[in-house]
Amino acid sequence: MSKSPAEIKAEILRLTRQFSAATHAANRPGEDALRPAFVPGQTTVPYAGRVFDEKEVEAAVSATLDFWLTLGPEGDAFEGELAAFLGVKKSLLVNSGSSANLVALSALTSHKLGDRQLRPGDEVITAAAGFPTTVAPILQNGCVPVFIDNAPATLNADPDQLEAAFTPDKTKAVMMAHTLGNPFDLTAVTEFCQRHNLWLIEDNCDALGSRYDRKLTGTFGDLSTQSFYPPHHLTMGEGGSVNVIRDMKLKVLTESFRDWGRDCWCASGKDNTCNKRFGWKLGELPEGYDHKYIYSHLGYNLKPLDPQAAIGRQQLKKLPAFVQARMDNWNQLRAGLADLEEFIQFQLPTHATAWSPQGFAWDNSGHQTECSWFGFMMLIKKSAPFTRGEFVKYLDEAKIGNRMLFGGNLVRQPAFVSLRQQQPAAFRVVGDLAGADRIMNEAVFIGTYPGLTKAMLDYMVETIRRFVQSKQ
């Protein structure tokens, strides 16, 4: 007797779980007993990576068998679940964190925003050291990034430079990242934006689960963004989201720029939710032109696939455990390297003044942060008897993954050097960016991601200590 489609699918998914368990054990969480044994010096210790089990693989296969493919029911569900986790009005899935930044900034250029529309030549304040696609959308939309310096201790933008960066009638927005999961000074930045009636976009790609005064980052601005690339706090493979914090008119605009620039807000596969599909008169189109083919913006097609969203839904269930693992792993590394402060400056959370085995000491602002750490950052002091280059070479040879702070001081990158030569007014710099330069020259980070085992963390500590001792 032949099996029904439901029975066939159930059998496929059973075998999928079995296959995943047999094939992907190395991608399980660090504390999972099914992970293969770590062999020091032979097993690579990544700085980041995918952490998943058979649930994600089963979800992806199940959604693929349903063959909706383009963003659909799994995407709708994930958007709702992510928005509920963050406590925001709407989360809109896109195909990457970089696309999320592009959509978020582009949405603010809409003519539908009236006097608050970002126009070519308007200025957007951002941080000099970081990832380039936090800044690229500003330029791609014809606006002018204004770079302020980063504080080496936190890696975040120096809020004391905000007023110096402000130009009346030209500055219209602030767009910056919570660096490596460390919230930037949200009190200073939000008060500055409110005082000058500026938009605020939080690049939350490295900080999902971080908190400022117990409130999740990505929920303070007008819009925020996430990345679901494999190194990030949860993964869909490729993927990201734009989060609409409060004002739902921004939902319509972000959707438009994500979905070809269309004016229609109907979901894929749905028609006439406005009940006047053939009753619109917009632009110079004839009255009654099909609303599904009316375009109010010069948009893109930046949606992910539904099987990716199915993976993301399973990852989201594990996010609290992932965040806790990142915090625990950071603390284990910090405690293990505590006596190396003579040579290495370690990152501090915003508003913290010092670390001890008992915890952080805080400044007198009354504010505190909790970091869902993307990485464990170290700055090699100029007084150290070794260079960063020597240090990272040793880590590489020991098979310990490491990274610089992304693009370092972005204005030193070839793209920006060339831009400055060809268009001197394309961007503006406040001060000498000494902090961003120091980060560019001295910073390196290693992993805190949830796939690290205790044995891996111990090996990282032992290796770093051995290197430092060899140079004394």
Going by C-alpha positions, the residue among 358, 312, 337 that lies closest to residue 80 is 312
Which one, of 392, 386, 430, 394, lies nearest residue 411 by Cα?
Answer: 430
d(CA 96, CA 194): 29
Q: Give the number of C-alpha atoms closer than 13 A to the C-alpha of residue 194, restricted to the C-beta side.
A: 8
At 243, list the tokens: 């989060």
CA atoms within 13 A on the CB side of 417: 4
- Token pair of 459 as six digits: 């090996």
232 is catalytic: yes
Distance CA 395, CA 445 (A): 11
Tokens (6 digits) for 192: 């500055």
Catalytic residue, chosen from 178, 196, 232, 233, is 232
- Burial (CB < 10 A; 0-12, 13-18, 19+), residue 331, is middle
Query: Please, what sign has the CA dihedral across residues 348, 350, 353, 359?
Result: negative
| Residue at token pair 């894929």 | 268
Positions annotated as catalytic residues are 232
